[in-house]
Amino acid sequence: MSGIELFDRPIAFQRAFVDLGVGITGALMLSQCIYWHGRTSNKDGWFYKSQSDWEAETGMTRREQETARKRLEKAGFLEEIRKGVPAKLYFRVNVDALETALKGLSSRMAESANQECTDGATSMAESAIQECTNPPDCEGGNRQSITEITSETTSETTAGKTSGPDRPDNHLGQDQPEQPTDQNQPSRPDAAIENGRFWGTQEDLDLAVWMWDGLVEQLGEDKPREPKFSRWANTIRLMREQDGREHRHIRILWDWAIRHEKFWASHVQSPEKLRDKWPQVAMQRRSERRKAPQQAGVDRAAELRRIHEQRSNSQQGVTYEHQ
């Protein structure tokens, strides 16, 4: 294999996607999603990609993937669903939403270009009228005025392009909330997932996914909507940092609660509820664990009595022959 063949990757970066307000990483992931959308065998358009698959194809780290997915999902261009046991994450492109956004982007760009041409012609005409109406003074004050007008027009045009609705990091117009930028986020080197003030480490995220998978397995079709894992991971992090819990303790108590058919399975279905009800859940689990050996002892004693009675009854029915 020649060296150039190593660069023959199934990816084409679509620059236009950046102007949809999803950023560079969002545009990169959306481009790759379009590629697999046209090649999936699923009639509904779903395709499976693991975190390692995305990294191998795009070079994006897990954190960059989470940011890209969050922006695409918020914009309505990407849909996600977990299926199977163990649960796998499947993706689907919302073609209708993407086509609508691209048409709107094209229209806005055309209007912006026309507006710039109109403003430019008007500015030139006004400058010419001003030049003819006011004769130049001896110190060239009028020439200075033209320079100032040109400078102001350039500044206004630049500012309009920078802060207008067509700015790449502005999401499809003024009526949509501005996408958070990485510069506005505090430095969190340990974060594997974050959304504003909600974030967690890789261990927090892994535990959050494990908790959800266990809940899905336990409830089946009655499971709630898939959660925001940034919030779940954030709660787990707070349980560690503020409450002094360990991951293994959270895992044990969660597993006990969701399998407790009498009460807790229906009342504890999120890390927030587990944190809120921790003292009660832990106390009941401890109480039932103490009862278990006692009950086992009672059952063992009853079994020994039953065996003794059987032996006694059998001995009473035996006839001994004397020589």
The pLDDT tens digits for 21-61 are 888 889 999 999 998 888 889 999 999 999 889 998 888 89
Phi-psi category of 129—alpha, beta or left, where left has phi over 0 and alpha has psi -120 to 50? alpha
> What is the predicted pLDDT for the residue at 208?
93
Strands 47-48 and 78-83: what pairing?
A: unpaired
Below-50 pLDDT ranges, the chain: 1-2, 6-8, 132, 136-182, 318-323
Dihedrals phi, psi of 148, to nearest 5 degrees: -65, -40
In 116-265, the DSSP E strands lie at 193-195, 198-200
DSSP letters spanning 264-304: HHHH--SHHHHHHTHHHHHHHHHHHHHHHHHHHHHHHHHHH
Residue 59 Cα distances to 49, 51, 53, angstroms: 14, 11, 9
Residue from 251, 232, 213 nearest 88 by CA: 213
Structure tokens belonging to residue 189? 């080197």
Residue 302 to residues 257, 295, 309, 314, 316, Cα–Cα distance (Å): 31, 11, 11, 19, 21
Reduced to 3 states (helix: H, G, I; strand: E, B; else coil), residue 92 is strand
